[in-house]
Amino acid sequence: MKLFVWDLHGVLETGNDRAVVDISNEVLRQFGHPERFTYENGVELYGRKWYEYFERLLPDVSHDHRLSLQDACFQLTEFNLTIQRRWLTRTVHAWEVLTAISHLHHQILISNTRSDNLELFLKTLQLERFFPDPSVALAVDGHSQDVHRTKTDVLSDYLAGERTGDSYEEIVIIGDSPSDMRLRDVAGGVTYLYAHPKFSFRDCVADFRIRDLRAVLDRV
């Protein structure tokens, strides 16, 4: 039995880059800025910190102002899901890959999304059958108000709580960010860095770099 550890945004999900653009543009409108991001900017800047988006678009405003814009974006993300759900689609081949794994192995999802939103996103993507409850659809903020909690902490706690904790023959980690790849530090494992077609791979160490989720089936 193996354990597959998934990330959601940018991996099992496609379209968040456009939601980030729409949210940013809505905040720009609210703050009275005439500038707007394009969806091409969204592809180019994906994975950066939100204030870095504003550095690109608004080079002449203060860093504090960019942080205010960033805060407003986070607020909008948490409390208005309409924009995000407008663009949210399942990544091609995600269903068949998750299905094949589910017959033989365990799989969990660890996401920086708030737990309430995570449940809703999984329903929207029709992936809730693979990650049916909070014991396997793990939100980083799910069980703690500690803002310093990371994905690494979540995986550690998951493995400590598993009766079969040490018995996994392999841990397979699939994500699109450096923090996903660092999950290997918890208990070892093989890492797959995924990027959608047209997106650059994030700058980090990984065993494999893939653009098609079916590549993960090699581990099944």
Give residues in contact with Mg ion (CB under 5 A): 7, 9-10, 176
What's the min distance (Å) between Cβ of 169 and Mg ion? 26
Q: Which CB, 7 or 22, lies closer to Mg ion?
A: 7
Q: Which CB, 9 or 182, lies closer to Mg ion?
A: 9
Q: Which CB, 28 or 184, lies closer to Mg ion?
A: 184
Q: Which CB, 70 or 177, lies closer to Mg ion?
A: 177
Q: Which residue is nearest to Mg ion (CB)?
A: 10
Distances (CA, A) of 59 to 35, 150, 182: 12, 31, 32
Identify the sign of the CA torsion 60, 63, 68, 70: positive
Distance CA 144, CA 149 (A): 8
Helix ranges (DSSP H) in the chain: 16-30, 39-45, 50-57, 63-79, 82-87, 94-102, 115-124, 151-161, 178-181, 184-187
What the block records as the tokens of 17 is 């880059």
What's the min distance (Å) between Cβ of 111 and Mg ion? 8
What's the min distance (Å) between Cβ of 31 and Mg ion? 27
What's the min distance (Å) between Cβ of 98 and Mg ion? 16
